[in-house]
Amino acid sequence: MKKGFTLVELIVVITIIMVITALGVVNFAGINKRSRDSRRVADLKKVSIALEIYRQENGEYPSAQAGLVPDYLEIIPLDPKNPTNLYDLDIGEKYSYELYAHMEDSGSTTGTYSGGSCGETCNYRTINP
């Protein structure tokens, strides 16, 4: 009698491996989205802090994010998925601003906001404290 695996056993094992691999890929993609969204929130917080320091020293907010470099930010943070996109900064009256970003994970959003440099509708906003 020969020892070895039958065709049915091999098919079952290969199917199990394929299902586990598919689940791993789906979970990994979700983790990457949440990771990039966390980075976006941290970037907006960093810009927000730099804007507040700039306002304290100059009496008003800069007209653009470029006014924060190099004294208040080392570099202007860029979107982690599309590094050609800046986060949208909308300077309002003397003491107001809004920062916008586009989040990939719907659980990370704060609403829907149109326009800006997101290239599409932004779904995350932070405003001055």
For residue 12, what is the domain's CATH number? 3.30.700
Residue 1 lies in a domain: no
The whole-angstrom separation of Cα 52 and Cα 111 is: 24
Specify the pLDDT at position 15. Answer: 96
Specify the pLDDT at position 4. Answer: 82
Q: Which of 105, 101, 104 is nearest to 124 (CA)?
A: 101
- Quick: pLDDT tens for 48-104: 999 999 999 998 888 888 888 899 999 989 989 888 878 888 887 778 888 888 888
Where are the extended beta strands (E) located within 57-121?
Answer: 88-91, 97-101
Residue 23 lies in a domain: yes
**Predicted TM-score of the model (pTM):** 0.75
pLDDT(31) > 80: yes
Where are the extended beta strands (E) located within 1-129?
Answer: 88-91, 97-101, 124-127
Q: Per the structure, how many domains does the chain have?
A: 1
Residue 2 lies in a domain: no
Residue 3 lies in a domain: no
Residue 80 lies in a domain: yes
pLDDT band at residue 119 under the 50/70/90 scheme: low
Specify the pLDDT at position 116. Answer: 56
Host domain of residue 55: 8-127
**Under DSSP, is residue 107 helix (H, G, I), strand (E, B) or coil?**
helix
Please count the other Cβ atoms lying within 10 Å of the Cβ belonging to residue 3. Answer: 4
